[in-house]
Structure 1
């Protein structure tokens, strides 16, 4: 009997380990081969905009992937441009700035997408610039830094858009720079690294507190540009890039935005111009190159934040200067330059089919939704506080509501009076653990 129990426990352990590791890659194509595009996710869509192809004139290319249906559609942004920045919060996504080197133009254009109405509009940055960085938190979308080589200017400007008031304000970074990286967590939007047109490479970190509207500064462990950033839970990860000697870096600086502390880790392969995104408690860095583009990498570094362990994988096509985004259980990287230095039109999708029993928690002592059935407004009650993403999906997997909030009160309210009658799933994640409850609207 004891032996049988041991065998049973061993089988159960193996099954649980397998449950946390089930993931697979698939491939797709976007509408045109291009690099230096940008990506973000809003509502139920992954959005890839801008970039440049084989000729010097950047196309106004736009590709959208529906996370619920797994289908792609294509369209156009208002102006073709390369080296643009993208960021999104809730159901609003923005693609800002960029350049057209063929006509020596740098743009202040902002293409804005409302995922609720499925409508695109345009707006403007305060200054035309390219190679800037974008990040968002709560109701704020920020675009920081950038440059205009035609005018010989590196910018410190930060344009801040409030999705609630639909108004713009401006601020300034502590250092003017471009090819910096940005991400947000725990109520803070952080921009790090970069270089200026004089060849100075920075370790500067600018931190914007969304609640107070104030800025503070810090430093990376290593000055570098061409790095990538993504956030998971309360932590922001700044990885790779090129140092002051233009050598590739494998350093990962990790900022805990809640504790205001830093730690350092490393990639398996030193590289810059890589792509990053996070989902289901996984932090993913994919592709990249050396500074001279003599080597282009297929390396994928994956951090499981629930176990604090790293794994490596490979892309089907090595690429740099692509774009990545993620939502739910999917990470998508698209476009970029291949080893041949020709742009690619391929997209690679990493789907986690199981996030493990410790990832999904339907315990009502941890999370509850009331009233249930719901009518006008429902309250999500949580047993702990922190930085959460709240998504409501219908039975087909379509995201019908999405928000990101630092919840300190232990509860979150949202209106459901516009929801059609039926069954929904309320999904709440802190980037490490996922909580879910059914919600009936009658």
Structure 2
């Protein structure tokens, strides 16, 4: 685009300093070299310290009819200068917005009189280089909704136009829109364009506003919300119907004003959304408005202009106090007012003889603040993305900070608030990031960036794992590789592919004498290696069969001279997780309870037969209980502990915890470990000094099936099964 810049003469004003009190400054423009003196429907946006106004409809004496305007006006608040550019292709109803250091003017209607032409052209202004470039929309169209968030700017909806019958009670031949639901998306971080579609709303006059990392597009009571981070859509609604909203954000409030729908008449109603509470409220402007401009400055929202007539009143909403006020514009405002904020000012261009009107409001600007930046370590040659925005904030102009960085190694650069790229230079760099607010106040944050060499590619190997024979815990052990994440796999039945190297061997496998070797695998960047691990060679176990090895006589109470109440617990060898039952021949039916067991026996039957079954294995034991009772009495008389006794009060366990009594180990330290059938530890508890009987509540949560409770002292160990139906 060939650009001819003209300095505009500013009559009677010196823009070297803005007064500290809120006031208006009017700049009459003498467009040397141009004959147009009346431009309406201009598009406006801000980038850096510059307010840009482009396109529109121009008329001047002798012109046979309106023409699409081809002038760009740039007001630089840093210098007070106004320049104009004649290289802009004439068009009206242009979509305008900015992201980073770029300003965009997209699409529009071209031609004359009824403006049937549609443009796909996008004029892009770089405020850093003061250069223009071009791009194209995926479809020629105008009257789009435009907003930006993060590193992305979206051009949504819009329409092209043709001659046809306008629908209604009395159709007539006129200009008819062809509506689109297309969205063109530009990402300044990647310099890439992409295309999406609106889910519900479409066509011309879409209202657009950014809300955090989301952009809302509103029409006729509907909101389509786009998340710039995830690319996902969500839906909401507005309690105010309009097909031409004026929308802006002030502080934590989003304000929607619009015409009465479907009557197409002006309205004073305003729907206000609080982004903190998620609640809607309703308020009113001082007058009914239609096609007003909505713009914000700090925590205040401004509504100006009206297609229903001329007025100098501007409605002002303070989001902090929730109060409305009215200020007066210097002169009458009609429709199609163009406005954009720059620093702590609002810059207006109205329809009529060209002039710029600047509203400055007294504001106590404070410097941005920072929470600091953490030191970073990256690998040479690998892609890096470091987002800085979350570490900085600004009370007056949140989201308007600009960032610069010094000390970055070659290959890394800062775009917007994102440091990205890759570097081959190893070493330590001291990086300083400067965040500057629109009022030129700034804050610095420093961090060290360490670039380590990329690991030399080697062959990944699996080594023998580290293994605990008692708990079944093991850890994958590898050597070599390229330093990238490794995935692990173990069969039979231990784990599928996972990045967690810490795993468990189930209780059955680690205790079975005939346990088969375990296959271990590891993979990294497409390379897969395998190791066969013989667990029995690492932790041999006895092949002795399941058996009852002893009986712990817990108590023997005399009922009569010939009758005793006996409490006892069998001791086993070769317990597994298979189904288990216990019985006493002719005295007690089979039960899955873990004991202790209680019997009333007569002294003429001194020996009973205990029977236990585990899976298909059956064990028997002849128990001379009467002799054991005599020993128990002697031990009690001598004050000796009767031995570790575990009693589960309710098994199966039907609640979220198991109540367990521990006795027979008074004065000793007792450890309780609850594990599942794969040996995974679920809960631990220690009794530092046991009493005669201790009751412990062992949490089991909502587990189903079988859990194993191991109770041990320095010299004794027992394991009981907890059944969860």
TM-score by length of 1: 0.74
Larger Rg: 2
Quote the Cα distance in structure 1 between the aligned partners of 2:233 and 2:117. 31
Preserved CA contact (<8 Å) 1:132 1:144: yes
Quote the Cα distance in structure 2 between the aligned partners of 1:128 and 1:118. 26
Matches within 5 A, 1:34-45: 34-45=39-50
Change (3 A) 1:370 1:70: farther
Preserved CA contact (<8 Å) 1:378 1:416: no
Once the two structures are superposed, residues 378-401 of structure 1 have per-residue CA deviations (whole angstroms, 9 ceiling, x without a partner) of 9955599x96321479xxxxxxx9
Match of 1:179 among 200, 205, 208: 205
Quote the Cα distance in structure 2 between the aligned partners of 1:438 and 1:227. 38
Matches within 5 A, 1:6-405: 22-30=21-29, 31=31, 32-54=37-59, 55-102=65-112, 104-150=116-162, 152-173=177-198, 174-193=200-219, 202-257=220-275, 260-290=278-308, 295-316=309-330, 317-336=332-351, 343-352=352-361, 354-356=362-364, 360-361=365-366, 367=370, 381=392, 388-391=399-402
SS state of the match for residue 273, structure 1? coil
Q: CA RMSD in A?
A: 3.4
Quote the Cα distance in structure 2 between the aligned partners of 1:86 and 1:306. 28
Preserved CA contact (<8 Å) 1:289 1:320: yes
Change (3 A) 1:416 1:277: farther
In structure 1, list runs of 5 or more residues that go unmatched. Answer: 1-20, 194-201, 337-342, 372-376, 394-400, 406-413, 418-423, 429-433
* Displacement of 1:298: 2.2
* Displacement of 1:105: 0.8
Quote the Cα distance in structure 1 between the aligned partners of 2:92 and 2:431. 39
RCO higher in structure (CA 8 A, sep ≥6): 1
Change (3 A) 1:210 1:269: same
Quote the Cα distance in structure 1 between the aligned partners of 2:231 and 2:247. 22
Quote the Cα distance in structure 2 between the aligned partners of 1:435 and 1:53. 36
Change (3 A) 1:437 1:101: closer
Once the two structures are superposed, residues 118-162 of structure 1 have per-residue CA deviations (whole angstroms, 9 ceiling, x without a partner) of 111111111111121211111111111111121751111111111
Quote the Cα distance in structure 2 between the aligned partners of 1:234 and 1:131. 27
Quote the Cα distance in structure 2 between the aligned partners of 1:244 and 1:40. 30
Once the two structures are superposed, residues 219-270 of structure 1 have per-residue CA deviations (whole angstroms, 9 ceiling, x without a partner) of 2222213332222334332223342101111222233446544333221111
TM-score by length of 2: 0.46
* Displacement of 1:415: 7.0
> Which sits farther off after the overlay, 39-48 or 180-189?
180-189
Once the two structures are superposed, residues 2-22 of structure 1 have per-residue CA deviations (whole angstroms, 9 ceiling, x without a partner) of xxxxxxxxxxxxxxxxxxx93
> Which sits farther off after the overlay, 250-259 or 80-89?
250-259
* Displacement of 1:43: 1.6
Change (3 A) 1:159 1:244: same
In structure 2, list runs of 5 or more residues that go unmatched. Answer: 1-19, 32-36, 60-64, 164-176, 375-386, 405-413, 419-429, 447-725
Quote the Cα distance in structure 1 between the aligned partners of 2:111 and 2:268. 31
Change (3 A) 1:146 1:77: farther
